[in-house]
Amino acid sequence: MPFGADRVRIDLACGVGADGHWRGWCTVRVAAGALRALGLHPDQPTARVTGPSPPRWWHAAAERDAWRGPGG
């Protein structure tokens, strides 16, 4: 990891969704100073979008592949 574990907070939660199935959620919070060191803080120019977004099919394919998990 590019910064210490003391700069990251991970919150986990789970519960029954509206469809009756169990769901899990996680929230990852990173200290602003740690993001600044990587050029990702919102006040830095490198954190801003500098070009067009990828096409919709690219996002759909990425989400589909993410749900498959490792090894497809």
Per-residue pLDDT of the chain (72 residues; tens, 9 = 90+): 567 788 888 999 999 988 999 999 899 888 888 887 777 777 777 767 778 888 888 888 888 887 776 665
* Total residues belonging to the chain: 72
Domain boundaries, the chain: 1-47
Return d(Cα 41, Cα 35) in angstroms, integer: 5
Q: What token pair was written down for 54?
A: 């990828």
Contact 25, 12 (CB under 8 A): yes
Return d(Cα 49, Cα 32) in angstroms, integer: 18
Q: What token pair was written down for 42?
A: 């919102």
Q: Which helix (H) or strand (E) holds 12?
A: strand 8-16
